[in-house]
Amino acid sequence: MRPVRLENWTFQDAFQRITNPLRRLVQLEEAGLLAAARRRTRLGEFHDTEFREPLSRLLKSLEGEACLTVLGRIGAREDFTQMLANRLAIEHDREAHPEIAAVEIRRPLFITGLPRTGSTFLHGLLAQDPSIRVPLHWETRSPSLPDRTESTRERQIARCDRQIRWFYRLAPEFRKIHPVAARMPEECVVILSHSFLSFQFSSMFSVPSYQAWLEEQDLRPAYRFHRKFLQHLQWQRPGARWLLKAPPHLPGLEGLCAVYPDAGVIMTHRDPLEVVASVSSLHAVLRRTFSKQVDPQSIGTEVSTMLVGDIQRGLAARDNGCAPPDRYLDVRYTDLVTDPMATVRRIYRQFELSLSHEAEERMARYLARTPKDEHGEHVYSLAQFGLDPGLERERYRGYRDRFGV
């Protein structure tokens, strides 16, 4: 055998030589993912194909732009296969149980706004009310439980817990930014990602061509599938009124209101100069987990541009009357953290909800056991991402003036 000369090799050379064959084995192509989903579910072909073009564009962007590591390719393949398997299982369940399509989703409440504006905290606080139904993290990962038995449910929860532990080992900083647990309330980005029309992907990967395409799309197909997803969860575990949360509901507001015409919308607001640095830090942490190349300054520019677009699309839909004015309530971050229960009472008055004594007690216990920075302080700055405070202040002037942040 011919000897291999190593004198001039760097570690990166050796790593590339080892991982290039693995890269070829971990394929990210549409036909292979669809086949993997069919094998995983042991079900037939997909009848609903609305997701095909978004998936195709996302895969093309990942291959051409994301600079994925082998771990990133494995993670993307596993996530996409599971989302496709979930779609296929939901489709099969609806055929076997036609009553799922008749499940009513009445007057849901959506929390949205820019990311990092207290929406996760507010979602968790309001979820303490036993009359409110929220999607739990494990449910968004395993929506199809056709036998609906407790043993099946517990197995899925245990599986979800194992996946979360592995993710935290890969990205330990993420715990400081956005804690996740199988039984915690989860935001709708996980549900919307099953449509492959989702802003989640650009937080995990550098996919600028996909993101630019997504920003021009009608998002009603994503919300139609979102409604199917909720029907599935409600059929399996009935509840009262849905409380849902995700920052991407802001740019998706037009599609949301078209699919949920009786929805109420709580918009959270914070100084965008705090938001843009925090979101940039989130993107950097996630992308470092999956990509070979992560440029903080490029992330800062990308995130700020994206957030400005989110504000413009969301407020244009609101101002153009996609829902009546009394269906909105604006909540400032400073008010929320200063007096959370005063904010809760405003919400209940606005949307004509009854705040029971039991709900208030549960919320008080939640506040007592949920300290700020429980998993360590999330440290970030504009300078870290090459952003100038003066330019950013001017960029968001209209939004800051309108909402007093």
Between 146 and 270, name the one with better pLDDT: 270
What average pLDDT score do residues 156-173 get? 85
Q: What are phi and psi of 106, to 5 degrees?
A: -100, 130
What average pLDDT score do residues 109-135 get? 96
Whether residue 34 has pLDDT greater than 90: yes
Q: What whole-number percentage of the chain has pLDDT above 90? A: 78
The pLDDT of residue 167 is 82
The pLDDT of residue 370 is 80
Whether residue 2 has pLDDT greater than 80: no
Q: pLDDT-derived band of residue 4, with 50, 70 and 90 as boundaries? A: very low
Residue 296 near residue 232, CB atoms below 8 Å: no
50, 52, 56, 57: CA torsion to nearest 10: 0
Q: pLDDT-derived band of residue 150, with 50, 70 and 90 as boundaries? A: confident
Q: Measure the CA–CA gap between 373 and 371, rounded to whole angstroms.
A: 6
Between 48 and 20, name the one with better pLDDT: 48
Looking only at the bridges linking them, the beta strands covering 264-269 and 241-245 are: unpaired
What average pLDDT score do residues 55-68 get? 96
Whether residue 170 has pLDDT greater than 70: yes
What average pLDDT score do residues 136-146 get? 88
Rounded alpha-carbon distances, angstroms, from residue 231 to 22, 101, 109, 148: 40, 7, 15, 14
Q: Measure the CA–CA gap between 94 and 92, rounded to whole angstroms.
A: 5
The pLDDT of residue 299 is 95
Q: What structural domains and CATH numbers belong to the chain? A: 107-403 (3.40.50.300)
The pLDDT of residue 21 is 53
Q: What are phi and psi of 68, to 5 degrees?
A: -70, 140
Residue 230 near residue 75, CB atoms below 8 Å: no
Q: What whole-number percentage of the chain has pLDDT above 70? A: 91
The pLDDT of residue 153 is 84
Least confident of 3-7, 91-95, 382-386: 3-7
The pLDDT of residue 98 is 95
The pLDDT of residue 27 is 84
Residues 6 or more apart whose CB falls under 8 angstroms from that of 371 comprise none
The pLDDT of residue 168 is 81
Between 159 and 126, name the one with better pLDDT: 126
SS3 35: helix
Residue-wise pLDDT for 205-219, tens only, equals 999 999 999 999 999
The per-residue b/e assignment along 111-127, b for 16 or more CB within 10 angstroms, e otherwise, is bbbbbbbbbbbbbbbbb
Q: pLDDT-derived band of residue 79, with 50, 70 and 90 as boundaries? A: very high
Whether residue 225 has pLDDT greater than 70: yes
The pTM of this model reads 0.89
The pLDDT of residue 3 is 44
Closest CA to 123 of 262, 223, 248, 246: 246
Whether residue 16 has pLDDT greater than 50: no
Whether residue 193 has pLDDT greater than 90: yes
Residue-wise pLDDT for 284-337, tens only, equals 999 999 999 999 999 999 999 999 999 999 999 999 999 999 999 999 999 999
Between 376 and 176, name the one with better pLDDT: 176
Q: Measure the CA–CA gap between 52 and 34, rounded to whole angstroms.
A: 10
Encoded tokens for 391: 């330019």
Q: pLDDT-derived band of residue 20, with 50, 70 and 90 as boundaries? A: low
Q: pLDDT-derived band of residue 22, with 50, 70 and 90 as boundaries? A: low
